[in-house]
Amino acid sequence: MTLLRNPKQRKLLFSAGLSWMFDAMDVGMISFVVAALAKDWKLGPEQIGLLTSINSIGMAVGAAAAGILADRFGRKSVLLWTLLIFSAASGLSAFATGFTILCVLRFVAGFGLGGELPVASTLVSESMPAKERGRAVVLLESFWALGWILSALIAFFVIPDYGWRVAFAIGAVPALYALYLRRAIDDSPRFAEIKKAPVSLKNRIATVWSSEYRRSTIMLWILWFTVVFSYYGMFLWLPTVMVLKGFSLVKSFEYVLIMTLAQLPGYFTAAYFIEKFGRKFVLVIYLLFTAVSAAWFGNATTEGMLMAAGICLSFFNLGAWGGMYAYTPELYPTSIRSTGAGLATSFGRIGGIIAPLLVGMLVARSVEISSIFMLFFATIIVGAVAVLLLGKETKGIELD
């Protein structure tokens, strides 16, 4: 797998990737913090579900707003503002005095987090040559795994000894990185071409749903909803599920860290296959194996099976995420690319709102973990079928 030969493109990928890593660190931190908060603040399953869903509500609003704004004011400026918003809110979360205040701050943090992701992937996608574009975006997504690994390390070494407030305080660090990013990267050259004749918001949304792009939009909205629903339902609850299966809090953090390490080879294999066999191949195959892994994890009865299923779940699910982020911007022209990607991402985040709440309700009603994960199995299958039947291949095609 060849790396980008252009130093400027490599710098953009690495710079945007670090912002992506900080984003993932904050999202990952929530999954570990809620497990600790459940003990400190005596939170029930439904409150844990509400807290994680509030974060996703912010991400849904942020994705739509940032996508729309990025087609009007540029990818770079919106990327910087979203980075500042989520890091400031994360840092302030360390000083939350009650559940309600923490929920408000997590909404604001989610707004920044949700806005950054589609804008960063659009920026990288538009700045790369066609033959390396998909691979570059999947490699950008691989920084998500680094962020989760970082959050798992913070959870393992910081939370047990210093508490969850210090973990949130670490989340303010990306604000300093935004100052570097302001000088380190340039806006998309494709955006510069259309900047002189911007398309109105009304026309952008109308074009996204026009006959030319309607099939792709429907497919993307189904894909994003099913993937985000299953991911946030499963991964934000992983540490808590491990505790429910009888492991201590520290032991559950250790196991989730090991599972998280499997995300990296998942991304790297997807980055290789996406330019060799295409976007649809990667998405369909990786989603199908994610579904099988979810069913396996939910029904695992031994420690070894649980670990093996969790590793497979991380490997295939995050590989599919990489393919999805690479695929989404390629289905729209430059004038509406960020808007189309932002709206699809925003709709997907609705799944991220529903899933943690739903899991909290099901756990509170003593529904078996195996039954909950079979629900995710079915959901992921729907996403794979949507790509197979409605998706079009974009491998090697120049962006409009």
Taking all residues of the chain, what is their mean pLDDT, rounded to a whole number? 87
Decide: 130 and 11 in contact? Cβ < 8 Å: no
| Alpha-carbon gap, residue 325 to 63, rounded angstroms | 13
pLDDT band at 102, cuts 50/70/90? very high
| Alpha-carbon gap, residue 270 to 272, rounded angstroms | 5
| Alpha-carbon gap, residue 281 to 323, rounded angstroms | 9
Task: Indicate whether 241 pLDDT > 80.
Answer: no
| Alpha-carbon gap, residue 234 to 312, rounded angstroms | 13
Give the rounded percent of residues in the chain with a pLDDT score beyond 70. Answer: 93
pLDDT (0 to 100) of residue 221: 98
pLDDT (0 to 100) of residue 184: 80
| Alpha-carbon gap, residue 63 to 79, rounded angstroms | 11
Task: Indicate whether 194 pLDDT > 80.
Answer: no
Decide: 258 and 397 in contact? Cβ < 8 Å: no
Taking residues 165-190, report their average pLDDT. 84
Q: Specify whether domain 8-181+198-390 bears CATH 1.10.540.10.
A: no
H-run or E-run covering 151: helix 130-157
Task: Indicate whether 1 pLDDT > 50.
Answer: no
Decide: 78 and 69 in contact? Cβ < 8 Å: yes
pLDDT (0 to 100) of residue 389: 97
Taking residues 185-194, report their average pLDDT. 79
Domain assignments of the chain as residue spans, ordered by start: 8-181+198-390
Task: Indicate whether 96 pLDDT > 70.
Answer: yes
